[in-house]
Amino acid sequence: MSNAQAPEVPVKKSKLKLIIIILILLLLILGGAGAFWWFQFGSPVEVATPPTAAATTTDGEATDPATATAETANADKKDGTTPAEPAKPKTVINLVNIPTVTVNLADTNPIRYLKVGMDVEVNTASAITALNSQLAKIRDAVIIILSGKTYNELATTAGKLKIKNEIATRLNQILGAPRVIQIYFTDFVVQ
């Protein structure tokens, strides 16, 4: 007989490996789409603010929630009509603007300065008057806190958050009670 080679039988590769790869890719795509939807369309939970005695509104007016409700009810009685939809209460915002502060930073070479403007959110309308009456103490405390910092401490987001917490803590000490909710930087320039 002749030394003829037997025809090679093609080796079937396992399709299991291909199926697993496709499933992993499909899961990654679905996970990415789900994360995109969550961050793009998911709405944060709104926190209801308790009514206060006399709070400022977004218009800057001082209102009393009890009288505002009574005035709305009396206005409906005068017209003789009832509204199809109850009037939504105005959003209560208790913000106090702290004038811009400019300080030299603790850096010696090169000499740098920081210009900061901020708004302080407080929990009651009475805290607004307390902040406004002690504005000199508050500006002094902010200047002392900020002038002790270096550029490297303020350059990172974590550093800015730390400064916000330090300022809020010091303002609560000045006010004598935990009234400051949040500090918002409206201006932050380091040069």
Residues 105-160 have pLDDT tens digits of 988 888 899 999 999 999 888 888 988 999 999 999 999 999 999 999 888 999 99
Flag whether 116 is in a domain.
yes
**CATH number, domain with residue 124:** 3.30.479.30
The separation between CA 91 and the C-alpha centre of its own chain, rounded to angstroms, equals: 17
Flag whether 76 is in a domain.
no
User: Which residue(s) pair with 190 in the sheet?
Assistant: 114
According to the model, what pLDDT value does residue 59 have? 47
Flag whether 147 is in a domain.
yes
| pLDDT tens-digit readout, 24-70 | 999 899 888 888 777 777 644 444 444 444 444 444 444 444 444 44
Flag whether 151 is in a domain.
yes
Number of domains, the chain: 1
Flag whether 50 is in a domain.
no
Flag whether 54 is in a domain.
no
Flag whether 72 is in a domain.
no
Q: Which two tokens stand for residue 32?
A: 């990415």
Flag whether 52 is in a domain.
no
According to the model, what pLDDT value does residue 104 have? 92
Structural domain of 161: 95-190
Distance (Å, whole) CA 127 – CA 131: 6
Of 188 and 8, which is predicted with more confidence? 188
**Residue positions counted in the chain:** 191
What is the separation, in whole angstroms, between the first and last Cα of the chain? 94
CA distances from 26 to 16, 35, 126 (A): 15, 14, 57
